[in-house]
Structure 1
Amino acid sequence: MPDHLRYADVSPAEQLAALEALVRGNPGLMGVLEDLRAAGLPQVMVGGGAVYQTVWNALTSRPIWHGVKDIDVIYFDDADLSYAAEDAVIQRVGALLLNAPVPVEIRNQARVHLWFGQKFGFAVPPLTSSAEALMRYASRTHAVAVALDEHGSLRIEAPFGLSDLFAFRVTPNRLGKSRRAHIEKGERARRVWPEVEVEPWTEV
């Protein structure tokens, strides 16, 4: 088995431990997680490429931030669904993350249903938590997020598990209904990480 797949067939507990070690081995990402903990946003997590691409880069001996376009910060606050409230958070927390190694994108998951239809062409119901947002990611592989708790422990959310991630396999998530996004993200992944296998989106 190729060395980059060394965690592909281990137990879920071993995969969780491996993910934590790889995340903690990324100083820039850990710094962002520490700043977000200090910011005190409700249900705040870092998900998407900053997490799964950290894994792929480490396991293929590439530079830490190779191919990582941005850091996706998600939080959930349904007390005020106005754009002004979200923008205030973006400005406040963004100022804390000016030294992040790549650009940071901050989004309130409680507002997603307000703009999703216009951007992606189909409506979605309101989310109830940041963790639920992961269930809508275009690919199951990408539905992984991390956060630091007040004791410094790393909390990992991975509703579909980590096997696809460690197998370098981009698997469609039909719950998310984002066929185009799965295809586009898969094509980019293959260009940047040739080790990646992309499962086609077949209708069932």
Structure 2
Amino acid sequence: MTGDASGWTVPPEADQSAFVIDAVMADPLARIVLERAHGLDLPDWALMAGAVYKAVWNVQTGRPGGHGINDYDLGYFDASDLGAAAEAAVVGPAEARFADLPVPVEVCNQARVHIWFNEAYGTRRDPLVDTNDALRHFASLTHAVAIRLDGDGQPELLAPFGLAAVFSRTIRPTPDLAGPEAWNRKIAEQSRLWPELDFLAAPV
């Protein structure tokens, strides 16, 4: 384990997956979301985005689990019907399963993301092939990590680019970032919540 004067540590590569899993599991709400999601039987599902990388930031900076997490993103992948009605038929009952929690759980079919994303940002992104592929298109390599429970209920990590960016204190956007204004608003908020980190703005 290596660290700096601030206490930020980088585990050996062999231990990094376990560190991320333990960090997520230290958040009581994340544990509940994972356990309930496991019972929903959604295809190719995962808890992703801030619920995972922010959990690492919270452990690294000594903050409580759940700090700065204003929603829990639960993705799944089902390309059998790309209509909005088909997604709504899944999302409605799924989100109702979490309605008693104090923080929203947002459920999204990753197979449909290219449809609304291209409309919103004027891009021409191809359809995704699975949930792991969705992580490859996130706004930052730091964000490209997710966790789910396998068939035996054990945590499984998805990290198509590895975990080096997750353990970096410098958070940078991808070169092909869409919506730089939204990115800059987001990191302005995050820099207040985690002032120990360095957030790089996107050119507009």
Q: TM (normalized to structure 1)?
A: 0.89
Alignment of 1:156-175 (within 5 A): 156-174=157-175
* Preserved CA contact (<8 Å) 2:78 2:111: yes
Alignment of 1:51-200 (within 5 A): 51-174=52-175, 177=178, 179-200=180-201
What secondary structure sits across from 1:136 in the alignment?
A: coil
What secondary structure sits across from 2:36 in the alignment?
A: helix
2:8 to 2, 5, 10: 5
Ranges in structure 1 where 5+ consecutive residues have no aligned partner: none
* Preserved CA contact (<8 Å) 2:121 2:178: no
Q: How far apart in 1 are the matches of 2:184 and 2:51?
A: 19
Q: How far apart in 2 are the matches of 1:161 and 1:175?
A: 19
Change (3 A) 1:175 1:161: farther
Aligned length in residues? 201
Deviation at 1:121, TM superposition (A): 2.6
Q: How far apart in 2 are the matches of 1:105 and 1:43?
A: 16
Amino acid aligned to 1:138: A
Per residue, is there more helix in 1 or in 2? Answer: 1
* Preserved CA contact (<8 Å) 1:138 1:181: no
Q: How far apart in 2 are the matches of 1:180 and 1:67?
A: 20
Deviation at 1:164, TM superposition (A): 2.2
What secondary structure sits across from 2:125 in the alignment?
A: coil
Q: Percent identity?
A: 38
Deviation at 1:57, TM superposition (A): 1.5
CA RMSD of aligned residues (A): 2.0
Deviation at 1:169, TM superposition (A): 2.0
Q: How far apart in 1 are the matches of 2:162 and 2:185?
A: 22
Ranges in structure 2 where 5+ consecutive residues have no aligned partner: none
